Amino acid sequence: MDSTTLVPSISILNLANQRVAVVERVRAALDLLGEAQQLAKAAHLGFPRLVLDESYGCRGRPTVTGDYAKRDEAEAAMVRLIDVRGWDYLLSESGLRTFMDAKARDQWSNQ
C-alpha cells in the first residue's frame, strides 16, 4: 500500500454485483442438485450425500443432498461463507483490519 494513500479505492459496487452473481449461481446449482436427486430417486439410482465443509471436519455441517438435507440451511451456510470472505477481503484491502487489535482479529476470524 502506498504510504500517501490513506484507504485504497475498492469498488464496493463491483463486489456487491459479483456477490449477487455468485449467490444466483449457488441457488441454480442447488436447484440442479435437487432435480438430479429426484431423478435418481425416481429411477431407483443412488445419489451422493453432499455436505458443506469449510474445514476438515464434516460432522454437524449442513447437508446439500440426502434424506436429511435442508436446502434453506445449506443455502444460508453457503451465502454466509460468501459474505464472510467478502468482508475479509474488504477489511484486508482497505487496511481497516490493521486497526483491529489481536483479540478483535481473532474474534472476527473465528465467527
Q: For residue 66, give the amino acid letter.
A: G
Establish if 1 belongs to a structural domain.
Answer: no
Q: Give the domain extent around 35.
A: 12-109
Backbone phi, psi, residue 63, to 5°:
-95, 145
Question: How many domains in the chain?
Answer: 1
pLDDT digits (tens, 9 = 90+) for 10-48: 788 899 999 999 999 999 999 999 999 999 999 999 999
Are 32 and 24 in contact, with CB atoms under 8 Å apart? no
Cα torsion through 22, 31, 58, 40, rounded to 10: -150
pTM, 2 dp: 0.76
Are 65 and 48 in contact, with CB atoms under 8 Å apart? yes
Mean pLDDT value of segment 41-63: 80
